[in-house]
C-alpha cells in the first residue's frame, strides 16, 4: 500500500500509557511518519526552538498533538506561546485531552487550536479517531512543507469504498448518531461551487444548518447579526472560506475574525482552487484550521467533504454556542 506521505508528528504528552496508545494508533495508519514525543510544554518549546536553529534530530513538525494537563507548563500556556512565535505559529495544533470541559474547549479554540479531541481509553476507538485525523490532515488538507496532497493507490481507494459500503449497511445509524448537529457558514462567490458543496453535504447525510454568503462583506454582516442574536443567523461552528473573491479577499476576512475576541474561537477551513505555497503559508499563519484545494470531480468533492465533516463533527468537539452570550460578545463589532 502506498503511504499518505512522509510526515512528522510531535506528540506533547506526559502519560506513558497514552503515549503508547497514540503511537500504536498512528502505526496502523498508511503514513510514513516520524513520531517525536516530549513530556512537557517546556520540552516542546525547546524542541521547536532547536528545530528552528537547524537541529536535524528535532525536525519541524507538520502537526502537533497536544495534551492539556501536564506537570509544569500546561498545554494552554504552550499553545499560547508557540502561536505567538512567528517561527512556529503556522503549525497546526490538535488538542488530545481527557478533559471534556467547555471552558477548556473554548479556551483552546481561542488560542487557535485546529481541533479538540477527547481521549478514548479504548485502543480500537482511538485507532479509529486517529485514522480520521490523519486522513483529514495528511490526505485532505495541504500542509506548509508539502504542497501537493499525497495520492492513495487504487487498492487503498477500493478498500475505503468497501469500508464506506459496509458502514452504510451495518453502522449507518450509529454513525449518524455520532454526528454533532452543526451550523456551517460557507463563504464562496462561485454559484457552481456553492451547489457542489451543498450537494456533497447532502449526499453524505450530514446533519447541519448550512448558511451561505457570496463574499466576505456578507459574511461579516452575518457574524454581526449572529452576535446580535438574530435567529436567522446562528453562530457558525465552522466556516468554509474561499480565498479569491471580489472585494475583501478571504485572507483579509480571516485576519479580521481571528483578531476579534468574539470570533477568534470559530474554526475556519480554507476551501479554494489555489495551491500556491504563499497562500498556504499565509493562511496557516492567520490560523486557518485546514487548507483544502477544491477537487474537480463530484466524487472527489464528496470524499473531501466526507473526511472534513468526519473530522470536525465526529472526531472533534466544538464550542457550545447555545450558552447565553455575555454582553461583551453580544455587542462585538466584526469589521
Low-confidence residues in the chain, pLDDT < 70: 1-5, 30-32, 145-180, 204-207, 321-335
Query: CA torsion 12→17→23→29, rounded to 10°?
Result: -120
pLDDT digits (tens, 9 = 90+) for 249-277: 999 999 999 999 999 999 999 999 999 99
Query: Cβ(127)–Cβ(280) under 8 Å?
Result: no
Residue 209 has a pLDDT of: 86
Give the model's pLDDT for residue 123. Answer: 87
Secondary structure of the chain: what % helix, strand, coil (to 5)? 45, 15, 40
Give the model's pLDDT for residue 51. Answer: 92
Q: Report yes or no on whether pTM surpasses 0.95.
A: no
Rounded to whole angstroms, how far apart are CA atoms 92 and 46? 18
The domains found in the chain, sorted by start residue, are: 6-140 (3.40.50.2300), 175-330 (3.40.50.2300)
Q: Which residues does 293 contact at the CB level (< 8 Å), separation at least 6?
A: 142, 149, 272, 273, 274, 275
CB 185 within 8 A of CB 240: yes
List residues bridging with 218 in a β-sheet. none
Instruction: Supply the pLDDT for residue 182.
Output: 85
Amino acid at each position: 500500500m502506498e503511504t499518505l506521505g512522509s510526515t512528522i508528528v510531535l506528540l506533547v504528552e506526559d502519560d506513558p500509557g497514552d503515549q503508547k496508545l497514540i503511537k500504536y494508533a498512528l502505526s496502523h495508519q498508511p503514513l510514513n511518519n516520524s513520531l517525536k514525543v516530549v513530556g512537557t510544554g517546556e520540552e516542546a518549546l525547546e524542541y521547536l526552538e532547536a528545530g528552528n536553529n537547524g537541529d536535524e534530530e528535532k525536525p519541524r513538525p507538520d502537526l502537533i498533538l497536544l495534551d492539556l494537563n501536564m506537570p509544569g507548563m500546561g498545554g494552554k500556556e504552550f499553545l499560547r506561546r508557540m502561536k505567538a512565535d512567528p517561527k512556529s505559529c503556522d503549525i497546526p495544533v490538535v488538542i488530545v485531552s481527557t478533559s471534556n470541559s467547555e471552558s477548556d474547549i473554548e479556551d483552546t479554540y481561542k488560542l487557535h487550536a485546529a481541533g479538540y479531541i477527547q481521549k478514548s481509553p479504548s485502543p480500537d476507538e482511538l485507532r479509529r479517531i486517529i485514522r480520521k485525523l490523519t486522513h483529514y490532515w495528511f490526505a485532505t488538507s495541504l500542509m506548509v512543507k508539502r504542497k501537493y496532497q499525497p495520492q492513495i493507490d487504487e487498492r487503498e481507494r477500493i478498500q475505503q469504498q468497501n469500508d464506506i459500503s459496509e458502514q452504510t449497511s451495518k453502522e449507518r445509524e450509529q454513525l449518524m448518531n455520532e454526528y454533532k448537529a452543526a451550523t456551517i457558514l460557507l463563504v464562496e462567490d462561485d454559484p457552481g461551487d456553492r451547489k457542489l458543496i451543498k450537494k456533497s453535504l447532502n449526499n453524505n447525510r450530514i446533519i447541519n444548518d448550512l448558511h451561505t454568503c457570496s463574499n466576505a462583506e456578507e459574511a461579516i454582516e452575518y457574524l454581526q447579526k449572529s452576535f446580535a442574536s438574530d435567529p436567522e443567523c446562528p453562530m457558525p461552528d465552522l466556516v468554509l472560506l474561499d480565498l479569491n473573491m471580489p472585494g475583501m479577499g478571504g485572507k483579509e476576512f480571516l485576519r479580521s475574525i481571528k483578531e476579534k475576541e468574539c470570533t477568534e474561537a470559530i474554526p475556519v477551513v480554507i476551501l479554494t482552487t489555489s495551491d500556491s505555497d504563499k497562500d498556504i503559508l499565509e493562511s496557516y499563519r492567520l490560523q486557518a484550521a485546514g487548507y483544502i484545494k477544491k477537487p474537480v470531480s463530484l466524487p472527489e468533492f464528496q470524499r473531501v467533504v466526507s473526511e472534513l465533516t468526519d473530522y470536525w463533527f465526529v472526531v472533534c468537539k466544538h464550542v457550545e454556542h447555545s450558552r447565553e452570550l455575555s454582553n461583551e460578545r453580544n455587542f462585538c463589532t466584526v469589521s
